[in-house]
Amino acid sequence: MCVLPYEFYNRDTRIVGRELLGKLLVNESTAGIIVETESYMGENDPASHAARKKTPRNSVMFGSSGVSYVYFIYGNHYCFNVVAHKDNIAGAVLIRAVEPSLNTGLMIKRRKINDIKNLTNGPGKLTQALGINKKHNGITLLKGGLYIKDTGLKVKNTAKSSRIGIKEGTELLYRYYIKGNPFVSGKKS
DNA sequence: GACCAGATTGTCT
DNA sequence: GACAATCTGGTCA
C-alpha cells in the first residue's frame, strides 16, 4: 500500500492507462478504485487536447508526469486526468470510472442520488462524487491530498476498446477497463 | 429499454 | 461565436 511514485507515471501513456486499473484514487476523505481509463497521447492522437498545439488550457499535458489535469466541459462537468508520458512528450490518462471504496456516504451526499452504481460510472460523475474541481488542476499527485496509491489488488480481466465521446481517433483502442465490473461506464459488460 | 436533444461554461479562433 | 474527452431527462416503442 503505497503512493504511486513519479516513475510509475513517467512511462508510455498507454501502459500507465492500463496499469492504473485496480489502483485507488484518493481525495481528502473519499476514495475509489479505478476501473476504467482512457489514454490520450500527444501530437499523434487526433482526439487528444494536445494534438494540435500547446495552449494555456492543455499546457498541463505537456508538463511533468504525475500531475493532475482537470478541465471543465459541456458547461456542467469536470473531467479528471493524470499526466503520464515519457520525457519530452505530451500525454495524459483520463479516469473514466471508479468503484466507490471509502466514504461512500459523502459521495452520495455530493451526487444527491441513492443509486450506488450510478455514483461514479462516468468522468463527470466521479469528479463530483470525489469532490474534484478546477482547483485541483495542475497539482502534483505525488505529495498527498489528492493522489493515487497501490493497494496490492491484482486485476484479472482487463479489456480494451475504442474511446468514448470523441469524433476522431476512434479506431485507436486506448480505452481500458475491468471486464465485468458493474461500475464501468456505458452498458453492461 | 433505446434513442435523441438540451443544458451551460470555459477556452480558442 | 463555435465547440467540447458528458449527463440527464424526455419521448417513443
Can you give the pLDDT of all 189 residues of chain A as single tens digits? 799 999 999 999 999 999 999 999 999 899 999 999 999 998 889 999 999 889 999 999 999 999 999 999 998 999 999 999 997 789 999 999 999 999 999 999 999 888 899 999 999 999 999 999 999 999 999 998 999 999 999 998 999 998 998 888 888 999 999 998 999 986 543
Distance of C1' in B11 from CA in A8, Å: 31
Long-range interactions of A156-163: CB distance < 8 A, separation 24+: A158/A18, A158/A21, A160/A18, A163/A38, A163/A47
Distance of C1' in B11 from CA in A18, Å: 30
Strands A92-102, A77-83: pairing kind? antiparallel
- For the record, the C-alpha cell of A63 comes out as 508538463
Distance of C1' in B12 from CA in A55, Å: 9
Nucleotides of C under 7 A from a protein CB: 4-8
pTM surpassing 0.85?
yes
Residue A189 has what pLDDT? 37
Indicate if CB(A52) is under 7 A from strand B: yes
Phi, psi of A109 (to 5 degrees): -65, -40
CB A80 within 8 A of CB A126: yes
Residue A142 has what pLDDT? 96
Indicate if CB(A165) is under 7 A from strand C: yes
Indicate if CB(A187) is under 7 A from strand B: yes
CB A125 within 8 A of CB A186: no
Indicate if CB(A88) is under 7 A from strand C: no
